[in-house]
Amino acid sequence: MTRDESFDNLRPLHSLYYIVTLKNISRSWCALQCSMHQYLCRAILYNEDLFSCYLLNCYQNERLVDRGRIDGGWEFWIQNDACPTGWVPFQYHCYFLNKTTVPWSQAKVQCEYHGAYLLEIDSGEENTWAMETFLPLWNAADCSNWWDCCECWIGATDIEIEGMFTWTSHVNISFSNWYARQPDNLNMAHCVRICRNGFWDDTSCHRNNTFICEMVYF
């Protein structure tokens, strides 16, 4: 494991990023516990004064932590074998935000080029994590129209059967997080983008947007 001191003493905001808390153990035992949760455990927080160990399912990042609340004594260590360089792990998958803006079908092809697929969101946890990790904060001045802050493609589409949204793997969507009054199929909206606040909007596939690719651990 590698120490990342920039996130020492900072804890994730949400309990959904914790796998388990262990008490009265050494740091090496804590690290071992993390490798025993191989794939799911991506990092640990360890406190040498308290002999306490948190196993985390993701790396820390600026949006996941509360810099207003700093507790002393915590070391942050990451598992480094998880994902290709630049890809961010969460649970059993790796994610990458591509900031170039392209139409939906091009985004899909670019993910596939890396052995990945356009982001498929299967739970509220994944939706919240992706929003907090990749999407810029909502800035009301930039977003007088809410749809101006919906800028990132995900892998959902109803291009085959109108109103029947599937992922690019053709799996039906089980979890969804539509914006109020969406999907509306306005101007033949057959592709889905995620907004800065985590809600989804269907829009024209020809628009240019950033996109998130996802892959399983290999």
Residues that bind Ca ion (CB under 5 A): 158, 182, 184-186, 189-190, 201-202
Nearer CB in complex with Ca ion: 127/182? 182
CB of 44 to Ca ion, least distance (A): 42
Nearer CB in complex with Ca ion: 150/213? 150
Tell me the backbone φ, ψ of residue 187, rounded to 5 degrees: 50, 50
Nearer CB in complex with Ca ion: 12/183? 183
Q: How far is residue 187 from each of residues 152, 158, 161, 190, 191, measured CA to CA in Å?
A: 18, 13, 16, 9, 11
CB of 214 to Ca ion, least distance (A): 22
Nearer CB in complex with Ca ion: 75/201? 201
CB of 193 to Ca ion, least distance (A): 9
Cα–Cα nearest to 155, from 107, 120, 109: 120
Task: Kindly give, in sequence order, each residue whose CB lies less than 8 Å from that of residue 92, ignoring residues fewer than 6 positions away.
Answer: 39, 40, 216, 217
In angstroms, rounded to a whole number, what is the distance separating the alpha carbons of residues 132 and 204? Answer: 25
In angstroms, rounded to a whole number, what is the distance separating the alpha carbons of residues 150 and 202? Answer: 10
Q: Which residue do the tokens 């749809």 mark?
A: 147
User: In this structure, are residues 12 and 59 in contact, taking their beta carbons and an 8 Å threshold?
Assistant: no
CB of 30 to Ca ion, least distance (A): 46
DSSP 1-68: -EE-GGGTT--BSSGGGEEEEE-S--HHHHHHHHHHTTTT--EEEEETTTTEEEEESB---TTTB-TT
Q: Please compute Rg for the chain using Cα positions.
A: 19
Nearer CB in complex with Ca ion: 141/161? 161
CB of 207 to Ca ion, least distance (A): 11
Q: Identify any residues that bridge with 42 across adjacent strands, giving them in sequence order.
A: none
CB of 127 to Ca ion, least distance (A): 18
Nearer CB in complex with Ca ion: 65/150? 150
